[in-house]
Amino acid sequence: MEDELIINKGYLDDLGVADLVALPIYLMVIIFIGRNIRNNNIELKPYFKYFTLGLYAKIFGAIAFCFVYTYYYKGGDTIAYYESSRAFANLLTERPGDFADVYFSPSSTNGLNTFSYRTGYPWAYMYFEDRTLFLIKFLTPIVLVGFKSYLLSTILLSVISFSGLWQAFKLMIRYYPQFTKECAIGILFMPTAVFWGSGMLKDNVTLSGICWFIVAFERFFISKNGGKKFLAAFLISGYLVLMIKPYIIMTAFPGIIIWLFYSRIYKIKNPFLRYSFIPFIMAISVFGGYIVLAQLGDRLGKFSLDKLMETATVSQEDLKRDYYQGNSFDIGTIDPTIQGFLEKSPQATLAGLYRPFLWESKNVGMILSGLENFFLLVVSLVVMIRLKIFGLFKYLFDNPLLLFLFLYSILFAYSIGISTSNFGALIRFKIAYAPFFATAFLILYRMTSKKYKNR
C-alpha cells in the first residue's frame, strides 16, 4: 500500500489514532506525576495545593484552544505552526540526513524543496520568516513526542510551559506568602492567559519564557541564592524570548534595571535617604535603558527605535481598516515622532491595560476578555481611591518586586496600545504582562484593605 500523502489542509477534520489512544495515556501519566509532586510537597509547602489546579487549568486551556481553532475558526496560525512542525517531524523519521541539513540551516528555497508531499510542507510565509521558523523548529520535538497529533502536542507544550508560570507563582509567594490566593489568581488562573497562553502559538512559549527570565534574574542578581543554574536559565529564557518576540525583552529591560538598582537602595533603613535616591536611580535607569535598547534595537534591525515608531504607526493604521470587521479601536492619528508618541501615551496605555471594554465586546472571546478587563479596572480604581493615586507610589517604592511588575506592565501596555488597533491582536499580545499586572494590583488591593491594615 502506498504511503499516505501528507497535505496541508488548513484545519483538522477529526481526531486521529494518537488522540484516541495516546492522549488518555499521556493525560493519566501527567496527572499522576502532578499529583505526586503536589503530595510530596504540600505538607511543608501548603501552596502546592495550587500545583495540580494550575496544571489542570493549563490542560483545559489547551484542549479548549484546540477545539475552538479546529471547529470554530477552522484554521489559523496555530494550525500552520502545527503543520509546519509536523512536516519537520515527518522529514526526521523519513530522511534523517536531510532533516539535519534543513533543521540546522536558515530558510532557503532549496531547504523548502527538501520536503515532499509525503512529509508535508512547512507553510512558506512561516518558513521564510526567521522568528516563526525558530518557533517551528522549537515545536518539532514536541510534535514528534506527541505522535504528530495537534491536540496532544498542544497539551504537551502547555504542560512544559506551565513550569514558567509555576516558577513565577513561587517567586511571588516567596515575597508575599500572606497573599497566596491573590498570586494564584493572577499568575495561574486569569482566563485570557489560560486560554491564549495554552495554545500552539508564540504567546504560550513567550509567556513561559518571560516568567523564567524574571524568576532567574531575581534569583541570580537580586536575592543571589540561585547559583549558576539560574544564570543559565536567565540566558536561555532571554534568548528564547528574544528570538521569538524581541519587544518583550525590550519592554522588560528598563524595569529590570530599576529593580536591580533600587533593590540595593531599598536596604537603606532611613526612609528619607532611601527616597532621596529615587530620582537618581530613575535617571540612571532611563538613560541606561535607552542606551541598551538603542544598541539592542540596532542589532535587531527593524526593532531599532526609529523603525519601531514608523512600524507602529503603519501597523496601527492598517489594523483599523474595514476588513477587520469592526474589531478595531482608534486612539487617534499618531505622529511618528517622540513627541507624537508621548502625546498618545495616556490613551495607548489605557487601551493596553483595560480594553476591550465590556461594551466593546462583539463575540464570546471578547466578552470573556471584557469581563476580565472590567474586573481589573474595578480593582485598580479601588486601589487608586484608597491610596489617593499618589499613595500608590509609596507602596510601590516600598515593594521593589511590585515596582518592577508595575513598570513592566505599564511600558508593555503602552507599547501594544500604541501599535495595535485590533482587539483580537491586543488580547493575545497582552498576556505577556497581564498576569503580572493582575497579581500586582490584587496584592495592593489586599494590602490596602481595612481588614489587612487592622491585623
Task: Dump pLDDT digits (tens) for 419-428.
Answer: 877 888 888 8
pLDDT at 3: 44
pLDDT at 260: 85
Q: How confident is the model at residue 14 (pLDDT cuts 50, 70, 90)?
A: low
Q: Is residue 402 pLDDT above 90, yes or no?
A: yes
Q: Is residue 294 pLDDT above 90, yes or no?
A: no
Among all chains, which residue has been given the C-alpha cell 463575540?
A: 363
Question: Which stretch of 5-14, 135-144, 253-262, 315-324 has the lowest confidence by average pLDDT?
Answer: 315-324
Q: Find out whether 425 and 180 touch, Cβ atoms under 8 Å.
A: no
Q: Is residue 322 pLDDT above 50, yes or no?
A: no
Mean pLDDT of 10-25: 69
Contacts of 173 (CB under 8 A, 6+ apart): 47, 179, 180, 183
Q: What is the DSSP string of 198-215?
A: TSSSHHHHHHHHHHHHHH
Identity at 309, one-letter amino acid code: M
Question: Which stretch of 13-22, 54-63, 217-226, 287-296 has the lowest confidence by average pLDDT?
Answer: 287-296
Mean pLDDT of 323-334: 61
Identity at 35, one-letter amino acid code: R
CA distance 381 to 386: 8
Q: Which residues are 422's β-sheet partners?
A: 328
Mean pLDDT of 326-345: 69
Phi, psi of 448 (to 5 degrees): -95, 0
Residue 2: count of CB within 10 angstroms of its CB: 5
Q: What is the DSSP string of 199-259?
A: SSSHHHHHHHHHHHHHHHHIIIIIS--S-HHHHHHHHHHHHHHHHH-HHHHHHHHHHHHHH
Question: Which stretch of 202-206, 275-279, 376-380 has the lowest confidence by average pLDDT?
Answer: 275-279
Question: Which stretch of 192-206, 336-350, 436-450 has the lowest confidence by average pLDDT?
Answer: 336-350
Q: Which residues are 328's β-sheet partners?
A: 422
CB-count burial class (<10 Å; 0-12, 13-18, 19+) for 393? middle
CA distance 131 to 308: 17
Mean pLDDT of 75-99: 93
Name the residue among 252, 251, 281 with its Cα closest to residue 397. Answer: 281
CA distance 407 to 280: 17
CA distances to 145, 184, 293, 294, 415 from 298, rounded to whole Å, are 38, 38, 8, 6, 18
Q: How confident is the model at residue 2 (pLDDT cuts 50, 70, 90)?
A: very low
Question: Which stretch of 127-136, 176-185, 294-303 has the lowest confidence by average pLDDT?
Answer: 294-303
Among all chains, which residue has been given the C-alpha cell 511590585?
A: 402
Q: Find out whether 402 and 444 touch, Cβ atoms under 8 Å.
A: yes
* Average model confidence (pLDDT) across the chain: 84
Mean pLDDT of 340-352: 82
Identity at 15, one-letter amino acid code: L
CA distance 328 to 420: 9
Q: Find out whether 319 and 425 touch, Cβ atoms under 8 Å.
A: yes
Mean pLDDT of 71-83: 87
pLDDT at 22: 86
Task: Dump pLDDT digits (tens) for 444-453.
Answer: 999 998 766 6
Rounded to two decimals, the pTM is 0.89
Q: How confident is the model at residue 265 (pLDDT cuts 50, 70, 90)?
A: confident
Among all chains, which residue has been given the C-alpha cell 511571588?
A: 172
Mean pLDDT of 115-135: 94
CA distance 424 to 366: 8
Contacts of 323 (CB under 8 A, 6+ apart): none
Task: Dump pLDDT digits (tens) for 358-385.
Answer: 888 777 778 888 899 999 999 999 999 9
Among all chains, which residue has been given the C-alpha cell 502547555?
A: 158
Q: Is residue 311 pLDDT above 50, yes or no?
A: no
Question: Which stretch of 155-169, 180-194, 203-217, 282-296 has the lowest confidence by average pLDDT?
Answer: 282-296
Q: Is residue 355 pLDDT above 50, yes or no?
A: yes
Q: Is residue 416 pLDDT above 60, yes or no?
A: yes
Q: Is residue 309 pLDDT above 60, yes or no?
A: no
Phi, psi of 349 (to 5 degrees): -65, -45
Query: Per the omega criterion (within 30 degrees of 0), is the bond before 400 cis?
Result: no
Residue 285: count of CB within 10 angstroms of its CB: 21
Q: What is the DSSP string of 118-187?
A: TT----HHHHTSHHHHHHHHHHHHHHHHTTT-HHHHHHHHHHHHHHHHHHHHHHHHHH-GGGHHHHHHHH
Q: Is residue 243 pLDDT above 70, yes or no?
A: yes
CA distance 191 to 189: 6
Q: Is residue 159 pLDDT above 80, yes or no?
A: yes
CA distance 236 to 238: 5
Distance, CA of 222 to chain centre: 22
331 vs 322, more confident? 331
Task: Dump pLDDT digits (tens) for 26-72.
Answer: 999 999 999 999 999 999 999 999 999 999 999 999 999 998 888 88
Q: How confident is the model at residue 264 (pLDDT cuts 50, 70, 90)?
A: confident
